[in-house]
Amino acid sequence: MRFDTEAVRGRSKPDPTTGAIIPPIYQTATYVLEEIGVDKGFDYTRSSNPTRQHLEEHLAALEGGAHAIAFSSGMACADSCMKLLSSGDHVVCCDDVYGGTARLFNNLMTNYGVEFTYVDSQDSENVERAIRPETKMVWIETPTNPLLKITDLDAVGKITKSNGLLYVVDTTFATPVFLRPLDYGADLVLHSTTKYLSGHNQIIGGVLVTNRSDLFEKLKYIQKSVGAVPSPFDSWLTIVGLKTLHVRMQRHWENAEKIASYLEKHPKVSKVVYPGLQTHPMHEVAKKQMSGFSGMISFELQGGLDAGKKLMNSVELCLLAESLGAVETMITHPATMTHAEVPREERLARGFEDGLVRLSVGIEDADDLIADLEKAFEKV
């Protein structure tokens, strides 16, 4: 099946008992056994649940993967990946990562003897140079949060394969509509399903997708052991969201391109970062590996931090809120919101200025969003 059909139908069939088109919500903690040691495929919802299984099969299909594991959050996915490592292991990580990921790595995992080296992975040679004898994993976000850096996944994939390293790619910003990292050698693909995949600001969730049965079994064991599972209802809401993913992502992309072009020409804007713009330093790589450029834009104003704050406090249609990837347009100040725990000197060193504004472009009418921004710019 083509992707759009896969998004709508997944791998599920109508419910055999009732004929229901949408999978039921199996809101149960436990299941009756047929006899000692004999179940009907489920024994306890921490281990597995029919609704969650429908979601996992759907997500695996969209990524072109053999296995998917749905988690209670994107950070639960990241934490479970870290549990594949041991004290003394080393990870090479792209230098622009989600603030929650940086918090997990720097403030928690280092307490367990795991070391991290951060590099600008836009140049794949930086990744190769950072590899040490104790390196076990390469961790990449693309596009990154919030600077929208692009990594050549194929180039890094060849490096990880030649060095026998575990290759983890977070493509929450792209979604499988526009990018499927398994095609470029990734061992694990991570998404926060909170964002575009569910798409409606309703749930917290995450997923890991892989073609490797050994990783699937290890991660299922970790998940069962720590209980990082989504509820049946959250799983069901995500299934419903996936059915319109391809349609929503097309509109996110169309709106973002229009707004990025508007911002690039605005006299009060000093810098616009969007992979779909030819001015993006990795535009050609993005064009090569992505079939669309999604709905995330970052930009800076001429007046720096003060101007950015005035803009964000003046918008009305654009919602000042954490998170991203929903049908509603949301505007964020990463330095004080999503990345508040990243030390300022680290942010500045990688080009992450205090006044950076992140815009998650929704699926409203683009002209209405531009009018809202223009009205706010008048107060800057």
Enumerate the active-site residues.
Answer: 46, 98, 170, 195
The answer to whether the beta carbons of residues 45 and 30 sit under 8 Å apart is yes
User: Which of 147, 138, 196, 136 is CA-nearest to residue 171?
Assistant: 196
Q: What are phi and psi of 86, to 5 degrees?
A: -130, 165
- For residue 365, what are the contacts with CB-CB under 8 A and spacing of at least 6? none
Q: In what order do the strands lie in the sheet with 135-141?
A: 67-71, 206-210, 188-191, 166-170, 135-141, 90-94, 115-119
Q: Return the closest-CA partner of residue 220 out of 51, 52, 98, 93.
A: 52
Helix axes 213-226, 74-82, angle to 10 degrees: 110
Q: Is 225 exposed, middle or buried (0-12, 13-18, 19+ CB in 10 A)?
A: exposed
CA distances from 144 to 23, 140, 229, 310 (A): 34, 8, 26, 25
Q: Encoding tokens for residue 122?
A: 């836009």
Q: Strand ranges (DSSP E) for the chain?
A: 67-71, 90-94, 115-119, 135-141, 166-170, 188-191, 206-210, 269-273, 296-301, 319-320, 330-332, 357-360
Sorted by sequence, the CB contacts under 8 Å of residue 208 that are 6+ apart come out as 68, 69, 71, 77, 80, 81, 188, 189, 190, 219
CA of residue 314 relative to chain centroid, distance:
28
CA triple 75-142-308, angle to 5 deg: 85
Pairwise CA distance, residues 280 & 296, whole Å:
13
CA 288, 323, 362 angle in degrees (round to 5)? 65
